[in-house]
Structure 1
């Protein structure tokens, strides 16, 4: 299965992970496009989601290139790919946590002003910290061929670096561990606050206007608040498991199933965000369906419009023939 410390990446694993990268690329692109097209949807939380999608888009592209090539040396393209994926992946962690912090302050602390004032801080941290870490790692020759020890063909921390475990923590793993703790705590607090608010509101419903309450929106929001940390952990846990197995020097980290799940988990975040925040968001889903139906209707009308003149001409020809026949019969009678 492996030669020395090198983990063999099989063709089937490449195909699956490349497909995952393609889904994430499309999903991140769709989030960005919907934000650009519809101005009334440009809220601050969705703007933060766009920044996260930019990171996931970069991750998908860089990982796809690495999985497609499956590097075997510290080449220049290996270092470039490793640097881009390190920056994008770390930035994705920060933006994911930033969205949770924003929602916590906005909903639980009920302070939109404070939440909006943190956007600049989110930019400085979510772009700045990964950039500093990546530039430092590249400058010290820490990024390079890693023999797929904790990757799937792409480059990350060089296997030749004597302090590679420390740099694996600094360039991703420590931020991954912090996200595992921070995201569930923040979203549990948000859900608890919403639940308490709903219970308090239910006491006043009998004296409010007599109209049926709509539970669809609140239930969908509640589902999303539950799924966000769960999906993040499910996708990222495989990378963490392989890292722990690497620290334990266990050959299990080279298991093809574990390697495949690692590749899918690291590359599917953009697609998961698209499903939750585009396809499972009714206003955006309705607009997409309307736009798609309109496009298909236009395509269907084009060939019809092309055929109409031909049919008219054919009708004109037949009527002309009928007139000529009637004239000829009249003249014959005469």
Structure 2
């Protein structure tokens, strides 16, 4: 699998990762489009989700380009792709944690005003810090060909740089570790607060028991709060494992299974967010189904109209007989003359 310091990629690995990139591209685009189309869904948490989807969209595009090119040496497009993916990936970590912090302040601290006041801080940190890190790394010539040692075909930190471990930490890994620690803690605190609130309203349960729809919404929200940190960790852990194996100088990091899991995990965040916050959100799912049905009906109606318009129509019989009578009369008049 390894050729010197270069991890060879199989075509099957590239195809799988390109497919997950495409799914993340579509998923992130769907989140952005639904937010733009339906104004009543433009809540602050969903707005933060849109910002996260923008970073996932950029990640999917840059990773797809890197996997497709499968770089073998430093080049201008390698540096550009590495810079874009570094910025987008790091920003994605910050926005993921920012959403958890917002929900914690909004739900646990019961202060929407305080939560909304944090949005500006989220912008400054989630866009500013990754931008500063990426510009600095590019300026110091640290971004480039990494021989797929901790990537899957795309460019990141130059593997030949003497301080490449430090820059791998600064351009992603340290923020990834912090997200591993922060997300579970915040979502556990949110879940505990919600469960305590439900227990405090236990005397109203006989009334609420007759409202299965409300119970299903509450159950789905509880499932999402559980899945968000779990999915993040499950997707990202493979890149962390390969980074640790790089530190240990273990050749296991070249394993085709581990490389494939790394590629799928790093490129699937947009698709996972779409599944949780679009396909598993009933109001949005209902609207999407209605929009698809409407589009299909309109398409069928248009096709029928085009078929009727395009088919040759015979003139009405009365018009044919009238024209024939006029022609016969004209012939008799000419014969009389």
**Fold shared by both chains (TM-score > 0.5):** yes
The farther-off stretch of 217-226 and 196-205 is: 196-205
What is the CA-CA distance between 1:195 and the residue it aligns to?
A: 0.7
Distance in 1 between the 2:165 and 2:110 partners?
Answer: 41
- 1:226 paired with 2:223, answer no
SS in 2 for 1:126: helix
Distance in 1 between the 2:111 and 2:76 partners?
Answer: 48
What is the CA-CA distance between 1:324 and the residue it aligns to?
A: 10
Q: Name the structure 1 match of 2:94.
A: 94
Q: Name the structure 2 match of 1:291.
A: 291
What is the CA-CA distance between 1:222 and the residue it aligns to?
A: 0.6
Distance in 1 between the 2:123 and 2:188 partners?
Answer: 25
Q: Deviations over 1:214-262 (max 9, x none)?
A: 2110011011101100100010000000000000000000001100110
What is the CA-CA distance between 1:308 and the residue it aligns to?
A: 3.6
Distance 1:192 1:318, change over 3 A: farther
Q: Name the structure 1 match of 2:334.
A: none
What is the CA-CA distance between 1:10 and the residue it aligns to?
A: 1.1
Distance in 2 between the 1:76 and 1:312 partners?
Answer: 60
Q: Deviations over 1:88-112 (max 9, x none)?
A: 0000000000000000000011000
Distance in 1 between the 2:196 and 2:242 partners?
Answer: 40
Distance in 2 between the 1:89 and 1:212 partners?
Answer: 42
Q: Name the structure 1 match of 2:50.
A: 50
Q: Name the structure 1 match of 2:242.
A: 242
SS in 2 for 1:204: helix
Distance in 2 between the 1:262 and 1:322 partners?
Answer: 79
SS in 1 for 2:313: helix
Q: Name the structure 2 match of 1:203.
A: 203
Aligned residues: 323
Instruction: Show the 5 A alignment for 1:154-165.
Output: 154-165=154-165
Q: Name the structure 2 match of 1:267.
A: 267
Distance in 1 between the 2:209 and 2:99 partners?
Answer: 36
Distance in 2 between the 1:291 and 1:18 partners?
Answer: 28
SS in 2 for 1:167: helix
Distance in 1 between the 2:300 and 2:252 partners?
Answer: 55
Distance 1:209 1:277, change over 3 A: closer
Unaligned runs of 5+ in 2: 325-337
SS in 1 for 2:153: coil
Q: Name the structure 2 match of 1:191.
A: 191
What is the CA-CA distance between 1:311 and the residue it aligns to?
A: 7.2
Distance in 1 between the 2:284 and 2:181 partners?
Answer: 31
Distance 1:317 1:111, change over 3 A: same
**TM-score, normalised relative to structure 2:** 0.92
Instruction: Show the 5 A alignment for 1:103-118.
Output: 103-118=103-118
Distance in 1 between the 2:145 and 2:311 partners?
Answer: 66
Computed over aligned residues only, the root mean square deviation of the Cα atoms, in angstroms, reads 1.9
Q: Name the structure 2 match of 1:252.
A: 252
Q: Deviations over 1:44-79 (max 9, x none)?
A: 000000000000000000000000001111111111
Distance in 2 between the 1:209 and 1:64 partners?
Answer: 48
SS in 2 for 1:313: coil
SS in 2 for 1:154: coil
What is the CA-CA distance between 1:275 and the residue it aligns to?
A: 0.4
Distance in 1 between the 2:319 and 2:112 partners?
Answer: 75
Q: Name the structure 1 match of 2:135.
A: 135
Q: Name the structure 1 match of 2:328.
A: none
Q: Deviations over 1:259-314 (max 9, x none)?
A: 01100100010000000000000111111111111111011001212334567934
Q: Name the structure 2 match of 1:20.
A: 20
Q: Name the structure 1 match of 2:211.
A: 212
Q: Deviations over 1:302-330 (max 9, x none)?
A: 1212334567934x5467679999xxxxx
Distance in 2 between the 1:154 and 1:25 partners?
Answer: 17
- 1:31 paired with 2:31, answer yes
Q: Name the structure 2 match of 1:281.
A: 281
